[in-house]
Amino acid sequence: MMTQTHLLVAAAVLARPGTPRRNAACVAGALAPDLAILALFGWAVAAGIPQSTLWGETYWRAEWQSIFAIANAVPVYLALLGLSFCLVRPKDGRGRFQTLPAVFALAALLHVAGDLPLHHDDAHVHFWPLSDWRFISPLSYWDRDHHAGLIAPLEALFGMALSVVLFRRFQARWLRIALGVTMAAYVAVPAFFMLAV
């Protein structure tokens, strides 16, 4: 899934009006699995590396794949969730899964769960350090050889529906503007890759 969809899913499930720290933990957790990829993309753009080289060679280097494995590791986020449950005492009578580390871990796990069925050739190692196994899905959110022609429009509709839900839930003008930008990204990002790669 595209990064903005992960953010929208996590926000729809975990974010609440009037809880800025919780919402920040939610956003951070939803972004965590993709941060290394976003950093790689930013570095490549700044360095003038062609998109075909970035996604055809650089992305596949062992050092980057190791970083991606750690960032997408279910055991890491489950351990954080477990530690949060055992060690962090909630305030104000909240449940243990309402603490900031728990919200972060849950958002990251939602991200990984969304990626698992939608990556084919670029499947992540989701069970590092326990296993190097990758689930090679028959579906891909970006690769037309693996049904992206169907998946990408469905993801865009899903993301836009989530944006509407969040638009109704939150009143802050800046957030509503961000949701509008996110909706525009469902058109802009695919257009970029069709033209650049």
> What pLDDT is stored for residue 187 in this prediction?
74
Q: pTM (2 decimals)?
A: 0.87
> What pLDDT is stored for residue 194 in this prediction?
62
Per-residue pLDDT at 180 exceeds 90: no
> What pLDDT is stored for residue 195 in this prediction?
65
Picking from 23, 14, 6, the residue whose alpha carbon sits closest to that of residue 172 is 23
Query: Cα dist. 108→10, 124, 170 in Å?
Result: 8, 14, 22
> Is 18 exposed, middle or buried (CB count within 10 Å of its CB: 0-12, 13-18, 19+)?
exposed
DSSP of 130-179: T-------S--SS-GGGTHHHHHHHHHHHHHHHHHHHHHH---HHHHHHH
Indicate the pLDDT class of residue 178, thresholds 50, 70 and 90.
confident
In the block, tokens 């670029």 appear at 122
